[in-house]
């Protein structure tokens, strides 16, 4: 076959195949265009902001999802808010009795999780710490440095050992004046409840974030995993420290507690809002942030606070003993130093 004849045959072959090639390219374009868009809901709730990203191929009204999310936030506020006198938790706090009291099941659930974490932390983490928050002025956002007598008087009103879970709907105070503050676990619980709202609509690919605490499930429309940022624990800054790529095949919550956001500076001393219930004072160690990754957002929320409370050495020992995926960040000599728990090292997560 001459060169000219060969070129002619090649042209004829290409022309015959061109419709097939064009059809294939068009199919790829249409496939890309047919990816459902990520829906985004955002707003204010629980004294902070929330952002929800989700996608689905089902015909689900975005307005219906938004209405259900808003209603859930309202319902949670009526149960868990320590800032409204008519909430279920504040009604329980106001009841001065040692008899069994009916409460919302959500409160019992939070107390049950917190009790286990409190015991593990030797009492550093404690939901009955509310009197100390008020004493130090964190609730009113006005610092008061108490003396030892004031601390002793308020600590006498505290103790997880003075709060008994009767059953799934009842709690009992062993000290009538006992008061419970669920703020250290309420955000994790809320993240979980909003995720349940999405699941109720048949939405299984989402990222729910409330005040920096979040939970993901599934993946993005293009099949890529959800990736989240962990910020550097530095006051007055919003810079990214780590990017975590979360699993495609199971739900995962990421909760971070830090000393670098809520604090007072007074006479050259910094007072963090993370209080050690064992002595009633703000923590003074160099551990400034702990991130816990766990399937249960309530468990992750409680542990992130407890590990931060006890400090680096004890916190790492606890994380390893309980097989927690935890990232610790210390502030030493003007530099940030990070360490990973054993479970985090072997989890197979992409962290960069």
Displacement of CA 40 from its chain's centroid (Å) = 19
Tens digits of residue pLDDT in 193-212: 999 999 999 999 999 999 99
Choose the weakest-confidence range: 29-33, 251-255, 337-341: 29-33
Tens digits of residue pLDDT in 285-299: 999 999 999 999 999
Q: How far is CA 227 from CA 101, 161, 182, 293, 324, in A?
A: 43, 40, 29, 13, 20
CATH of segment(s) 39-351: 3.10.520.10
Cα–Cα distance for residue pair 55/60, rounded to 1 Å: 10
Cα–Cα distance for residue pair 43/147, rounded to 1 Å: 41
Question: Model pTM?
Answer: 0.87
Do 80 and 107 contact (CB within 8 A), yes or no? Answer: yes
Q: Is 14 helix (H, G, I), strand (E, B) or coil?
A: helix
Taking residue 172's Cβ as centre, other Cβ atoms within 10 Å add up to 15
Tens digits of residue pLDDT in 127-182: 999 999 899 988 778 888 999 999 999 999 899 999 999 999 999 999 999 999 99
Where in the chain are the domains?
Answer: 39-351
Q: Is 88 helix (H, G, I), strand (E, B) or coil?
A: helix
């Amino acid at each position: 076959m001459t060169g000219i004849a060969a070129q002619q045959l090649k042209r004829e072959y290409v022309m015959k195949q061109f419709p097939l090639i064009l059809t294939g390219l068009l199919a790829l374009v249409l496939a890309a265009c047919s990816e459902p868009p990520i829906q985004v809901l955002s707003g204010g709730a629980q004294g902070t902001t929330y952002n929800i990203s989700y996608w689905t191929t089902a015909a689900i009204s975005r307005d219906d999802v938004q209405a259900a999310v808003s209603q859930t936030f309202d319902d949670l506020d009526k149960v868990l808010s320590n800032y409204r006198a008519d909430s279920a938790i504040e009604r329980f706090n106001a009841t001065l009795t040692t008899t069994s009291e009916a409460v919302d099941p959500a409160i019992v659930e939070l107390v049950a999780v917190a009790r286990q974490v409190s015991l593990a932390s030797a009492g550093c983490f404690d939901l009955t710490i509310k009197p100390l928050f008020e004493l130090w002025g964190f609730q009113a956002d006005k610092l008061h440095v108490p003396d030892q007598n004031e601390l002793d008087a308020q600590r006498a009103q505290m103790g997880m050992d003075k709060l008994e879970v009767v059953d799934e709907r009842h709690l009992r105070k062993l000290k009538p004046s006992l008061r419970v503050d669920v703020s250290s676990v309420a955000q994790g619980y809320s993240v979980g409840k909003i995720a349940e709202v999405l699941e109720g609509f048949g939405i299984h690919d989402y990222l729910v974030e409330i005040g920096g605490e979040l939970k993901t499930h599934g993946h993005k429309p293009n099949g890529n995993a959800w990736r989240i940022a962990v910020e550097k624990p530095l006051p007055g800054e919003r810079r990214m420290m780590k990017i975590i790529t979360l699993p495609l095949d199971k739900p995962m919550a990421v909760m971070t507690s830090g000393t670098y956001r809520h604090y007072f500076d007074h006479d050259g001393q910094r007072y963090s809002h993370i209080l050690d219930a064992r002595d009633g004072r703000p923590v003074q160690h160099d551990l400034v942030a702990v991130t816990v990754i766990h399937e249960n957002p309530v468990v992750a929320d409680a542990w992130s606070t407890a590990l931060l409370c006890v400090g680096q050495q004890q916190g790492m020992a606890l994380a390893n003993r309980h097989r927690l995926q935890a990232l610790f960040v210390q502030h030493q000599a003007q530099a940030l130093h990070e360490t990973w728990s054993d479970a985090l090292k072997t989890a197979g997560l992409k962290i960069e």
